[in-house]
């Protein structure tokens, strides 16, 4: 069953059960996908539909922050409920340990050795974590790992320089 079929089935079930929030959230997601399809002139693949859902969740997370900042807890709660509904259609999120392991694997695969290699690492990670990890968090973990490697190489280089100057 494709992702589109799952959403359609759930939308129908929500209509029949009278669950207005679920119905409206799934309709918004379906409409967002439809808009992208019209722009591209073709039907979306499951991966592309997943990207649309991820974007919808991200938009709602930003809205939650804005609503909380503006003292509108009622709207923030509604947005969080919508996130929960959309999250049912997303793959299982990666744990911190899995995220760290993937970053380590990316650094090894790309030969990354400093913060300048962040683009290479993120380029390797993006297709492997799509829909399963927040890009902002992924970037933080990658930056920390690259900083550790970078500092380690600077410390080693400094140690070599000290040995060379001490020998003269």
Domain boundaries, the chain: 3-87, 96-166
Count, in order, helices (H) and strands (E) of the chain: 7, 0
pTM for this model (two decimals): 0.69
Lowest mean pLDDT among 64-68, 79-83, 98-102, 160-164: 160-164
Closest by CA position to 60, among listed 35, 47, 77: 77
Report the percent of the chain where pLDDT is more than 70: 89
- Asked if residue 103 lies in contact with residue 141, where contact means CB atoms within 8 angstroms, the answer is yes
CATH fold group of domain 96-166 = Arc Repressor Mutant, subunit A (1.10.10)
DSSP-derived secondary structure letter, 139: H
CA distance 166 to 26: 69
Is residue 160's pLDDT more than 60? no
CA distance 64 to 51: 20
Task: Provide the CATH number for the domain formed by 3-87 in this structure.
Answer: 1.10.1510.10
Q: What is the pLDDT of residue 6?
A: 94
CA distance 51 to 166: 57
């Amino acid at each position: 069953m494709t992702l589109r079929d799952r959403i359609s089935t759930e939308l129908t079930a929500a209509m029949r059960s009278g669950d207005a929030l679920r119905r409206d959230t799934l309709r918004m997601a379906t409409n967002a996908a439809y808009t992208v399809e019209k722009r591209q002139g073709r039907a979306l693949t499951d991966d592309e539909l997943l990207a649309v859902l991820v974007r919808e969740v991200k938009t709602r997370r930003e809205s939650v922050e804005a609503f909380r900042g503006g003292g509108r807890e009622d709207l923030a709660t509604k947005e969080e409920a919508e996130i929960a509904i959309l999250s049912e259609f997303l793959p299982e999120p990666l744990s911190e340990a899995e995220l760290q392991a993937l970053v380590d694997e990316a650094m090894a695969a790309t030969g990354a050795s400093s913060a300048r290699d962040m683009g290479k690492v993120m380029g390797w990670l993006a297709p492997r974590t799509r829909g399963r990890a927040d890009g902002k968090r992924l970037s933080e973990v990658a930056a920390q790992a690259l900083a550790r490697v970078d500092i380690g190489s600077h410390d080693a280089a400094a140690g070599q320089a000290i040995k060379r100057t001490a020998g003269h």
